[in-house]
A and B are shown apart, each in its own frame.
Chain A
Amino acid sequence: MVDNIGGSSSNDNGDFVIKEQDRLLPIANVGRIMKHILPQNAKISKESKETMQECVSEFISFVTSEASEKCRKERRKTVNGDDICWALATLGFDDYAEPMRRYLHRYRELEVDKINSNNQEIRGGNGPHA
């Protein structure tokens, strides 16, 4: 059969028009990450990589869905970082929630740095405290 798992909409669901490639992470990325994790001499079958693609998309969907439900209940429109941390904990990935909070913290730090250095440039190198 063809290599790709159905790039068109001809699936069981007639109206499932989203292309498979659009709802899956690129197999190259998935494969690369897997290779890093696996022992040197290990191989990965193609269907394993494809299955992993599906699994990670499912993961994304479930986490997002939980987070989004929380937002809906709280009448917020935007899913934020804390919602994701909460969703991870709720779905049983407590182990992830803590590292994610650290990432979030670091991300915010880096974003603030970026904003600050942008501000510096705009003002021609003179910071607000100059």
Chain B
Amino acid sequence: MVVVMAEEEEKTLSIEPEFPRSRVKKIMTLDEDVKRVSSEALFLVSRSTELFLHLLAEKSAQVAIEKKRKTVKLEHIRIAVKRHRPISDFLLDSLPMPSETVKSDKPVQDADRPKSVPDGTRRIDHIFRKSEAQAQVEAQEPEPEPMEES
């Protein structure tokens, strides 16, 4: 699927990525150990990030469809992440268990990573915790679990 996408893109291959170069570069250089980045590298990171986003969006949409929902929600993304091994390897540990709200205090694993990203790795956990609380508040669809507002 990824290969097909890339092939289609290759036919009309421009070197104009979808994401702003400066922002991609900024994110890359958040890591103190990253000193210099060639423009090729920047280009490829940008492109592969697009593919990654395609993949995750598609998988998430599939989950939403399975659950007969028209709106792709947080839990659909979570399930999609779980199902896909390379992605779950670097994202799943950051996600709280589906029925938990603010439980997970564990910072993003350093032990499993050969090289951990800087302080901000907590952010996935952070966004899921906060977003989950928000999502429960804003949820239009009936949820079996009781809604808690902190």
Contacts and interface: CB of A to CB of B under 8 A. Distances in A.
A16 B43 contact: no
Contacts of B38: 78-81
Interface string B88-122: 01110010000000000000000000111101111
A62 B56 contact: no
Interface of B: 2-3, 5-7, 10, 13, 15, 18-20, 23-24, 26-28, 30-31, 33-38, 40-41, 43-45, 47-54, 56-58, 60-61, 64-65, 70-74, 76-77, 81, 85-86, 89-91, 94, 114-117, 119-124, 126-128, 130-131, 134-135, 138
Interface of A: 1, 5, 11-13, 15-16, 18, 22-26, 29-30, 32-34, 37-39, 41-45, 47-48, 50-52, 54-69, 72, 77-81, 83-85, 88, 91-93, 95-96, 98-100, 102-104, 106-108, 110-111
A34 B49 contact: no
Given A96-B48, A99-B51, A25 B27 contact: yes
Question: Majority SS of interface residues in chain B?
Answer: helix
A69 B40 CA distance: 18
A83 to B, nearest CB: 6
A95 B119 contact: no
Binding site of A, secondary structure by majority: helix, strand, loop or mixed? helix
Contact of A23 (B26, B45, B86): B26
Contacts, number: 236
Pick the most buried of A5, A16, A25, A77: most chain B CB atoms within 10 A of its CB. Answer: A25
Contacts of B6: 99, 102-103
A91 B90 contact: yes
A22 B90 contact: no
7 contacts: A23-B26, A23-B120, A47-B131, A56-B53, A60-B24, A65-B116, A69-B114
A29 B46 CA distance: 12
B47 A83 contact: no
A102 to B, nearest CB: 6
